Copies of this chain bind each other. A is one copy, B any other.
Amino acid sequence: MSDPAELLREHNIPVTAQRLAVMKAVSDRPHSTAESIAEEVRAGIGTISRQAVYNVLGVLSDNGLIRRIQPAGLPALYEDRVGDNHHHLVCRTCGKTVDVDCAVGETPCLTAAGDAGYEIDEAEVIHWGTCPECRKESDSKASSS
């Protein structure tokens, strides 16, 4: 069940070395970009084309095996953790991203006040802020000026 190859078969997705390697990379390093996933994969199986990485990530997220998040101004990030409606906290300075659970409840803000006729299928919540490291940086810069 948690065997990657098995997971793919369950979804009728042909098993390839590239797909397994990408799944492993996403799992090992949550919140990675396509580019860093490609690097990780190359370290494992030697080589993969950029296109294949995008293909695989597309197939996996279409099937709900991974989740894609796209913070404003940053390249898309991919993560393993699906199906639990958690959100993200992104550092404005360095882009480092961590998971957060929303304080409001299980499906926070999923209901908009007046849907304007839209059929809403997902609410994406991104918290913007400054991570501990970057706060130290800016503090020391501010005090030295």
Contacts and interface: CB of A to CB of B under 8 A. Distances in A.
Contact of A108 (B69, B89, B108, B130): B108
Interface of A is mostly: strand
A118 B127 contact: yes
Interface residues of A, number: 42
B101 A118 contact: no
Can you tell how many copies of this chain the complex includes?
A: 2
A8 B46 CA distance: 55
23 contacts: A68-B72, A69-B72, A72-B76, A73-B76, A87-B109, A89-B115, A89-B118, A89-B120, A98-B118, A100-B112, A100-B116, A102-B113, A104-B108, A104-B109, A108-B108, A109-B127, A110-B127, A116-B131, A118-B129, A118-B130, A119-B129, A123-B127, A126-B126
